[in-house]
Structure 1
Amino acid sequence: MSEQSIVDPDIGLQLIPTEASDYATQVDHLYFGLLGLSALLVAILVGLIVVFGFRYRRSRKGPRKPRFSDRVGHRIEIGFAAGLTLLFLGLFYWGGHLYMHLYDDQQSDITVNIVGKQWMWKVQHPDGTREINTLHVPVGESVKLRLTSQDVIHSFSIPALRLKRDAVPGLYTTAHFVATKTGEYRLFCAEYCGNEHSKMRGRIVVLSQADYQEWLTRHGEGPSPAVAGRQLFQSHGCTGCHQDSAQTPAPALDGLYGRTVPLDNGSTIVADEAYIRDSILQPQKHVVAGFQPIMPSFSGQLSESEIFELIAYIKSLQPGEWNQDRASGAPQ
């Protein structure tokens, strides 16, 4: 199926959006379970109101003694309340399990960086291919979205996938999905973000795996995030301090990602993406033990997309890689 032949299944009036991911079916089951339970409770309450209103109306004469003793009545009330509590706790567990499945840190086939900005979505694929307000993904493969915002809080929402995730300035959030149907689906910002919030919309295009690879070949341009990050690292003079911790005033970064880093206050921290980001923008926040807090902040000098690229480069560095580059004569 070529990209030109894709038809939007969401066009037209629909009560429930198209299910286009493995997660969507599970969310719908939870939704209908909650809806059914709520409808049952409403039916019970309205039925009791009607029955009691007719049975105990003012015009009716006769004894109005209770049918049950106080002890039996209390047991009925407590049993009804306990049953409802257990039912809704079950729904809470069900919903919490689905939430953790969607937003926990899990392995994925593809990781896509997304930056929200008034009023557009900027997308970068693992090979460096870029899009605006459009996201192309292959069917049947797990996709991880890494989101942040350039300015204010946005919310990345794809109803067909039952996916909604906030993009927050200064914070990385993630979401996972596996698209199950090829087609074109709507993308919205679901958080009011300014005067043109209603225009911050786009589309997600789900292609077969072969068509997705063809699309990458036709539209791929520019270096990968790690290669672009290396160029940024060099152009901003970072190699002047971060080449060799034994000779320069800053720690070496090869093999840093995922390592436990000792800090000058006696604590330790795991070098994840958030730590690397903070080290770039707020270098005084986590000072490595044995080093002076002399690194300048790059806040305001780098866009969110460039920070993504720097993080990708640092994550790609293996232990001893810089020493190997210097021995081979490769530029730093």
Structure 2
Amino acid sequence: MNRFSLWPQAASEQAARVDLLFIGLLVISGAILLLVAGLLLVFCLRYRRGSSAPRGLLPGFLRRDVEIGWTTGTLFLALFLFWWAGATQLRAKDPPAGALEIHVAAKQWMWKARHPNGAREINALHVPRGEAVRLVMTSQDVIHSFFVPAFRLKQDVIPGRFTEMWFRATEPGEYRLFCAEFCGTDHARMGGTVTVMQPEDYARWAAAQPQEENLAEEGARLFTALGCSGCHAPASAVHAPLLAGAYGRMVHLADGRTIRADEAYIRDSILQPKRDVVAGFEPIMPSFEGLVDQGDLQRLVAYVQSLRGEAAR
């Protein structure tokens, strides 16, 4: 039987920080409300019609000090709140190194998850408690939004782009997953569950799933099938950038800019290769726009990510 609660359950590290920020804003707003209401009440009683309270002008220095005081106080309070909220949000953007990476694809009207060992889920997501989990997400049709209230996390999932979020669950259990962006007729039915398990239970669950090729292995086969290895292989006669160890590095471009080789850069290099040409190379790569779908892009990006350690061999 569910107990009535005025406060939603918190089941992640991010939830604790968001709740603290919300409580802080609530306390500050309540204090300002009480101060203003109290001053109004005092002034209404003291300066009511017929009272003997003095109504002359305040001395000039007092008027100036009051103006400077409340303006400065309001400014510093606004700057403090901006810093606090901004720091909380920025901290939630960068996942720690070694986070468990799970790929999520949104589609009317379901969530499809793919684990590193190839295990697949639909409208469900199993994660270990206490471990950082990084979700790399894309949409196959329209804009969706991945929302888990117990984690205090919401991230738009956009077609033609990779978006990501990360969390560290703290409480085992099942938590509701929603789509928080209107996405069509059955938007209200697009949901699921996030199951947080003890690490040993998650390991047993993952081992019991059907063993399939993971995204990187599927990406390697697709990489060869599309002919990409004919240019990017080390022994290729074509002068093209090598991909081993490229993911995550800073890339110098022909126009003088420098950009990090992240998921978005790899995706754009596949679909719009002439936009960000690597310095020292000719723009000879053809576009694969229309030849690969969002699922293929996820596979190819995962394959390039898997090559990050090969540069050291």
SS of residue in 2 equivalent to 1:253: coil
| Partner residue of 2:45 out of 42, 46, 54 | 54
Counterpart amino acid of residue 128 in structure 1: G
Question: Partners in 1 of 2:289 and 2:236 — Cα distance?
Answer: 27
Residue 26 of structure 2 is aligned to residue 18 of structure 1? no
Counterpart amino acid of residue 55 in structure 1: R
Structure 2 gaps of 5+ residues are: none
**Identity across the alignment (%):** 46
> Are residues 290 and 88 of structure 1, via their aligned partners in 2, closer, same or farther at CA, if it must alter by over 3 Å?
closer
Question: Partners in 2 of 1:247 and 1:57 — Cα distance?
Answer: 92
Counterpart amino acid of residue 68 in structure 2: I
Structure 1 gaps of 5+ residues are: 1-8, 322-332
| Partner residue of 2:70 out of 80, 84, 102 | 80
SS of residue in 1 equivalent to 2:273: coil
Question: Partners in 2 of 1:164 and 1:85 — Cα distance?
Answer: 30
Question: How far did residue 261 of structure 1 move?
Answer: 3.9
Aligned length: 311
Question: How far did residue 177 of structure 1 move?
Answer: 1.4
Contact 1:244 1:251 in 2 (8 A): no
Q: Judge which range, 43-52 or 177-186, deviates more.
A: 43-52
SS of residue in 1 equivalent to 2:20: helix
Alignment of 1:241-256 (within 5 A): 241-244=231-234, 247-248=237-238, 250-256=240-246
Question: How far did residue 61 of structure 1 move?
Answer: 4.5
| Partner residue of 1:283 out of 253, 273, 292 | 273
| Partner residue of 1:153 out of 143, 147, 162 | 143
Question: How far did residue 289 of structure 1 move?
Answer: 4.3
Counterpart amino acid of residue 143 in structure 1: V
SS of residue in 2 equivalent to 1:312: helix
> Are residues 100 and 201 of structure 1, via their aligned partners in 2, closer, same or farther at CA, if it must alter by over 3 Å?
same
Residue 298 of structure 2 is aligned to residue 308 of structure 1? yes
Q: Judge which range, 178-187 or 233-242, deviates more.
A: 233-242
Residue 160 of structure 2 is aligned to residue 165 of structure 1? no
Question: How far did residue 291 of structure 1 move?
Answer: 4.3
* Cα deviation digits, residues 236-293 of structure 1 (max 9, x gap): 2322333246513543323322344444445444322222111111122123345443
Contact 2:270 2:288 in 1 (8 A): yes
> Are residues 240 and 297 of structure 1, via their aligned partners in 2, closer, same or farther at CA, if it must alter by over 3 Å?
same
Question: How far did residue 56 of structure 1 move?
Answer: 2.4
Question: Partners in 2 of 1:125 and 1:174 — Cα distance?
Answer: 15
TM-score by length of 2: 0.89
Contact 1:245 1:251 in 2 (8 A): no
Counterpart amino acid of residue 310 in structure 1: L
> Are residues 41 and 290 of structure 1, via their aligned partners in 2, closer, same or farther at CA, if it must alter by over 3 Å?
closer
Question: Partners in 2 of 1:244 and 1:149 — Cα distance?
Answer: 33
Compute the RMSD of aligned alpha carbons. 2.5
